[in-house]
């Protein structure tokens, strides 16, 4: 009988051996939990298209953030849902606006245990749902939007945000906000750029989560899904402008872009496991079609394997518990 010279199965023969031979290791501190806080509600409001997720009150937001800190995750990314919107998103840089008030509350609650982060974009705050200021013809005015972003970034830094998530996909946003922060003395505030953010089909449940007012689409400023090289170019431009971290979003459908960005830049690279990815797994698991826990952990391993240094995921707290069980 002729035996194989190479027997790779030796390294897969038992759980302890597989654990020892694992090429990548995910830890709770690599996970970031996105959270939604809504102005004017007295109880958390369930998000029907995202089972298990809610729009929070300030009190419930504090509780969930405290649980996340106890689980050992790396941070929370905060999105605000205001009661009143207008054409320029005035609530975004209002010190008494819901996002800024909630940021201060979370910084006081968990700021010593994890990184309090804030979404820097106008879409939640505008009555038209776009990520920027509109021109008379209805198109997004890139440079006028940058002025709003700078004001919003300064307001978030003053409120206590340690990391700003620049998700608007405006040209020059990193350079403009970095200059604005530095001029106000916020030289330590971290900028994470959503560098390769695609105008794909995986954001649907998020629209409910932030009560989006969007009509139309964002294809003139978010990236076209067929393009990979463009995503790398966007990341390189953001690094040149001063981004401390770059992001690829959505996650699993763009692992190829994530890997290419990781190879191209020398700053941390993050990924966002978006609402559509979350809801598809939850729906299939509810029907018994997949093993929920195994699928979630497989998906997080994929990000880790492709080169992500951290992952924004709605399962952050829960997955952190599972990871710690396996350590």
Name the residues annotated as catalytic.
197, 249
Number of Cβ atoms within 10 Å of the Cβ of 177: 31
Task: Kindly provide the b/e burial profile for residues 33-61, where b requires at least 16 CB atoms within 10 angstroms of the residue's own CB.
Answer: bbbbbbbebeebbebebbeebbbbbbebb
Is residue 216 classed as helix, strand or coil in its secondary structure?
coil
Q: H-type helices in the chain, by residue range?
A: 15-21, 58-71, 98-110, 142-159, 173-183, 204-209, 229-241, 255-264, 275-286, 292-306, 316-326
- Distance between CA atoms of residues 140 and 60, nearest Å: 35
- Give the DSSP per-residue string, 48-79: TTSTT-EEEPHHHHHHHHHHHHHHT-SEEEEE
Which residues 6+ apart lie within 8 Å of 47 measured at CB?
A: 36, 53, 54, 55, 205, 208, 209
Q: Which of 308, 306, 195 is nearest to 242 (CA)?
A: 195
Q: Which two tokens stand for residue 42?
A: 């007295």
Q: Is 248 helix (H, G, I), strand (E, B) or coil?
A: strand
Using DSSP, state whether 196 is helix, strand or coil.
Answer: strand
Contact between residue 278 and residue 231 where contact means Cβ atoms under 8 Å apart: no
User: How far is 194 from 269, CA to CA, in rounded Å?
Assistant: 10
CB-based contact 214:123 (threshold 8 Å)? yes
């Amino acid at each position: 009988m002729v035996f194989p010279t190479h027997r790779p199965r030796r390294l897969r023969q038992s759980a302890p051996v597989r654990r020892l031979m694992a090429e990548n290791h995910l830890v709770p501190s690599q996970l970031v939990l996105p959270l939604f806080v809504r102005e004017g509600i007295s109880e958390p409001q369930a998000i029907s298209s995202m089972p298990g997720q809610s729009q929070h009150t300030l009190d419930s937001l504090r509780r969930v953030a405290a649980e996340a800190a106890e689980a050992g995750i790396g941070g929370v990314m905060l999105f605000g849902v205001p009661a009143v919107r207008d054409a320029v998103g005035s609530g975004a840089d209002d010190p008494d606006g819901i996002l800024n008030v909630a940021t201060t509350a979370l910084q006081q609650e968990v700021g010593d245990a994890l990184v309090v982060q804030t979404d820097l974009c106008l879409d939640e705050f505008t009555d038209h749902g776009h990520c920027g200021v509109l021109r008379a013809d209805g198109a997004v005015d890139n440079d006028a939007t940058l002025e709003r972003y700078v004001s919003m970034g300064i307001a978030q830094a003053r409120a206590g945000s340690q990391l700003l998530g620049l998700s608007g996909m405006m040209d020059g946003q990193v350079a403009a906000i970095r200059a604005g922060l530095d001029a106000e003395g916020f030289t330590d505030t971290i900028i994470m750029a959503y560098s390769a953010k695609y105008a794909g089909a995986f954001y649907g449940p998020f629209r409910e989560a932030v009560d989006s007012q969007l009509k139309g689409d964002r294809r003139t400023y978010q990236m076209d899904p067929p393009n990979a090289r463009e995503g790398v170019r966007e990341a390189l431009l953001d690094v040149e402008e001063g981004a401390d971290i770059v992001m690829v979003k959505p996650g699993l459908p763009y692992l190829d872009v994530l890997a290419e960005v990781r190879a191209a830049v020398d700053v941390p690279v993050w990924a966002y496991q978006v609402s559509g990815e979350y809801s598809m797994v939850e729906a299939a698991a509810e029907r018994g079609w997949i093993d929920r826990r195994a699928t979630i952990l497989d998906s997080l391993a994929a990000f880790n394997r492709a080169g992500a240094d951290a992952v924004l995921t709605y399962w952050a707290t829960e997955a952190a518990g599972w990871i710690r069980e396996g350590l």
